[in-house]
Structure 1
Amino acid sequence: MKMLKYTFGLLVGAVVFLSSCRDTVDPNIPYTDFDTGAYLRTIDRTSTTFNFFDLASSNFALTLEAVDSEDGASVETVDINVQHRRLITGVGLEYTPSAGPVTVKTLSASDFGANSESRFLRTSFVITAAEALAAVGLTEADIEGGDVFEFSLELHDKYGRTFNRENVSGNIAGGVFYSSPFQYFVSVICPSDLGGTYAYSQTSDYCGDATFEGSVTFTATSTTGSYTISDAAFGLWGECYGDAWGGSVRLNDACGNLTMSGTDSYGDSYSMTVTSSDTEKFTFDWINTWGEYGTVTIFANDGESFPIFQ
């Protein structure tokens, strides 16, 4: 009987302890400077990339939930700051502005409201690429594919405290429950969608003046912006030798800069130079290390269009 009472007492104690922990989970938020505080749980990342080819329509958008012992009511303002960075080979990261992040938008307590999914207050915001560029003092012409915009949040509560990426703990920033990093990295990406079969026209005097037509297939690989070419000589071998082309040559699209890599079945490598480009077609000169060459125009399929290549 004594053992039964002892076991029952432990069980009750454990239940009370767990209940107590659950009741105090929200205010007891571990920061480097505070034992209690507030954080901004990431509910939805609507948009976290900028399209290099369409910066005018690109934006950064989040839905956040303010979590504290007052169900989010302690939040006074949230500053959204931004800084642009670029990785320069042999140099490292270069930041603009170099002095540090600048505020691009400030949310007030009135921007947070009730929701049907939890008791905490939520807010959603959108920052356009144009707003981010203006904040850091850059224009679209200054941007390159692979650039990154670092957005960081600073939560100011009505008690005069500030919570940000500098004092946030690892549990809050990286924990699945908290999901509140206080910083978000928005990359400038270069979508590439050249996979498909296209009609081409080629002119070459490699084996006598000739203009010939055909079709070529670009097949996407596991590397973004890289495509295998079904015939990297674009019919020249058939025209000159009556032979089918063979090998493994790729067309590489790096933010509109087209290059060739790889070799044919004889070990010769290929290169290309784009000479003209519009939405309906693009033209380039190609040559391989054997000395074969030609000028090729690739035509967009009906209802499709190309970006401007270079």
Structure 2
Amino acid sequence: MKMFKYTFGLVVGALVFLSSCRDFVEPNIPYTEFDTAAYLRTIERTSTSFNFFNLANSNFALTLEAVDAEDGATVETVEIRVRHRRLIPGVGLEYSPALSTDDVLIRTLQASDFAPNSDSRFLRTSFTIPASEAIQAVGLTPADIEGGDAFEFRLVLNDKFGRSFTNTNADANVTGSPFYASPFFYNVSVVCPSDLGGTYEFTATNMDSIYGSCDGTISGTSTWSPVSGRPGVYRVTDGTFGFWDCYGDSWGNGDVRINDACGKLTMTGADKYGASYSMTVLSSSAEELVFTWLNSDGETGEVTIKAQSGKPLPILN
């Protein structure tokens, strides 16, 4: 009798378990009636920055893949919209056009712009928008642009069913996941490439200090070494450019740097005695750079840097 009750309990338990499992999966899910969306997978970011020193030849360029239930065939149009952004220290972000208005429609891709490719079954397209076109679209001129500015490009996919998909209504998994690679939104920064590293021939004149002057001209070489992890920052081999030779002194372990911030040069750091350094650019051309340096001990000199062979100097601000 005890064994019968035990067996009967197991059977009842199994029936309850199976019944609960069945209830969990019913009613049958109508998979074929699920609504499907569409997104734009970023295949290649061909160009996603504008060169401040060469805006005329800078572009925003992407290759996109339309992903939907019909392998990209539901796409009707893709709007490319733009807004300019600038961070003003102590004030905040400034936008053109203002955030209270819509961003500007700069280009519309048609369904016919999407075509088959040999790498996937989905339709793809590529586009290029010159920086000059983006600048004009937001009501600015190249003279208004500053290093550190950014252009916010936003894509809006409109399909043949009358639906629109963009960064504001897409799921975070779509916009943020590397698999989908579909942000619908791209920050294109105005960058200032700097390439001042190398060894330069120089001449130094007008060297003076409270300790005495150094008559005539000093010639030599100065190596500007890029500082790791600090783009546009260069450590110089001698912040006095040979001036201390007049004293019979040597540069030693001083750490003076030249900083290139969008074509504006500054000098920072200190020598082995703790004196700080600054500089003033007097003239700039592709062939030579002329500046004065000054330290907090009152020592100063005028330096002319010659361009390296085959590498013109940038025209500085």
Q: How does 1:185-224 map to 2 (within 5 A)?
A: 185-206=187-208, 207-222=213-228, 223-224=230-231
The alignment status of 1:304 with 2:304, answered yes or no, reads no
1:209 CA drift (Å): 2.7
Structure 2: gaps spanning 5 or more residues? 1-30
Task: Indicate if the aligned counterparts of 2:192 and 2:262 stay in contact, CA closer than 8 A.
Answer: yes
Q: How does 1:71-82 map to 2 (within 5 A)?
A: 71-82=71-82
Q: Distance in 1 between the 2:88 and 2:299 partners?
A: 36
Q: Distance in 1 between the 2:180 and 2:279 partners?
A: 50
Q: Distance in 2 between the 1:280 and 1:291 partners?
A: 29
- Aligned-partner residue type, residue 123 of structure 1: T
- Aligned-partner residue type, residue 197 of structure 2: G
Q: How does 1:246-285 map to 2 (within 5 A)?
A: 246=252, 247-285=254-292
Q: Give the secondary-structure state (helix, strand or coil) at the position aligned to 1:251.
A: strand
Q: Distance in 2 between the 1:225 and 1:202 partners?
A: 24
Q: Distance in 1 between the 2:103 and 2:313 partners?
A: 36
Q: Give the secondary-structure state (helix, strand or coil) at the position aligned to 1:210.
A: coil
CA change 1:181–1:234 in 2 (3 A) is same
The alignment status of 1:288 with 2:288, answered yes or no, reads no
Q: Give the secondary-structure state (helix, strand or coil) at the position aligned to 1:110.
A: helix
Q: Distance in 2 between the 1:104 and 1:153 partners?
A: 10
CA deviations over 1:53-85 (Å, ceiling 9, x no partner): 111110011000001101111100000000010
1:205 CA drift (Å): 4.3
- Name the structure 1 match of 2:57: 57
- Aligned-partner residue type, residue 218 of structure 1: W
How many residue pairs end up in the alignment? 282
Give the root-mean-square deviation of aligned CA atoms.
1.8
- Aligned-partner residue type, residue 77 of structure 1: T
Q: Give the secondary-structure state (helix, strand or coil) at the position aligned to 1:55.
A: helix
Q: Distance in 2 between the 1:196 and 1:57 partners?
A: 26
Q: Distance in 2 between the 1:194 and 1:234 partners?
A: 17
Task: Indicate if the aligned counterparts of 2:42 and 2:182 stay in contact, CA closer than 8 A.
Answer: yes
CA change 1:100–1:93 in 2 (3 A) is farther
- Aligned-partner residue type, residue 89 of structure 1: P
After TM superposition, the score normalised by the length of structure 1 is 0.88
CA deviations over 1:132-167 (Å, ceiling 9, x no partner): 111111111111111111000000001100001110
Q: Give the secondary-structure state (helix, strand or coil) at the position aligned to 1:160.
A: coil
- Name the structure 2 match of 1:226: 233
1:208 CA drift (Å): 3.9
Instruction: Give the share of equivalent positions with the same residue, in percent.
Output: 61
Task: Indicate if the aligned counterparts of 2:214 and 2:243 stay in contact, CA closer than 8 A.
Answer: no
Task: Indicate if the aligned counterparts of 2:201 and 2:305 stay in contact, CA closer than 8 A.
Answer: yes
1:36 CA drift (Å): 2.1
After TM superposition, the score normalised by the length of structure 2 is 0.86
Structure 1: gaps spanning 5 or more residues? 1-22, 29-34
- Aligned-partner residue type, residue 284 of structure 2: S
Q: Give the secondary-structure state (helix, strand or coil) at the position aligned to 2:126.
A: strand
- Name the structure 2 match of 1:89: 89
- Aligned-partner residue type, residue 156 of structure 1: N
Q: Give the secondary-structure state (helix, strand or coil) at the position aligned to 2:173.
A: helix
- Name the structure 1 match of 2:133: 131
Task: Select which of 174, 180, 183 maps to 2:182.
Answer: 180
